[in-house]
A and B are shown apart, each in its own frame.
Chain A
Amino acid sequence: GAVVSQHPSWVICKSGTSVKIECRSLDFQATTMFWYRQFPKQSLMLMATSNEGSKATYEQGVEKDKFLINHASLTLSTLTVTSAHPEDSSFYICSARLGPGPYEQYFGPGTRLTVT
């Protein structure tokens, strides 16, 4: 149980275009999902916390107009990288929790974005 999927697993796009990444909790309902960015050989950087039916909460330094997050249902959150640039190339990972406190996060397999 507690499986999180991401789609696509990898994507290559041209500079200036937008890319949408989907994150789904397959066998549980997640009121809260998280979006992370990971650079090579580095730790996770939390980008935003996504709550179903409300606006996402972005971490300091993350441009909310560039990284659009939508949490339309209890099983789906999307991250759209708008007007992508080469510096947006990264590994994006989503996760979901059953609840706060003692509940662990379940992570998606990640999406490798390359902007040319």
Chain B
Amino acid sequence: AQSVAQPEDQVNVAEGNPLTVKCTYSVSGNPYLFWYVQYPNRGLQFLLKYITGDNLVKGSYGFEAEFNKSQTSFHLKKPSALVSDSALYFCAVSPQNRDDKIIFGKGTRLHILP
């Protein structure tokens, strides 16, 4: 079965430190990969996506993600965390078929400590 794993329910990082939110996937073929962020009582906002090409993808708010095909991972990163980055982050995968659905991970809550 196709799935997305976010192994950490919560990640705590001190402000100014680099952050990483992990994501691995199990999908056949070469999927498209996404990261979304959700602030309290809001819908999800698109951060970035990987389609093809350079393994390092840059997105909104200074975030970037690194695609690793051999490890089937797509970890979200930021060099210097801000308190305002505290939110719920979702990794998602879109298989390369005609299915319209995107498969979401369960989410990782990021706490940036001042």
Contacts and interface: CB of A to CB of B under 8 A. Distances in A.
Interface of A: 4, 6, 32, 34, 41-44, 46, 49, 91, 93, 95, 97, 100-110, 112
B102 to A, nearest CB: 6
Contacts, number: 61
A95 B45 CA distance: 11
Question: Binding site of A, secondary structure by majority: helix, strand, loop or mixed?
Answer: strand
Contacts of B44: 44, 93, 95, 105, 107
Interface in B75-114: 90, 92, 94, 96-102, 104-107, 109
Contacts of A108: 43
Contacts of B32: 101-102
Given A102-B51, A104-B49, A93 B100 contact: no
Closest 5 CB pairs of A and B: A107-B43, A43-B106, A107-B44, A109-B43, A102-B51
Given A100-B99, A101-B96, A107-B45, 20 more contacts: A32-B100, A43-B90, A43-B104, A43-B105, A44-B44, A44-B90, A44-B107, A49-B101, A91-B41, A95-B44, A100-B94, A100-B97, A100-B100, A102-B51, A104-B34, A104-B49, A105-B102, A108-B43, A110-B42, A112-B41
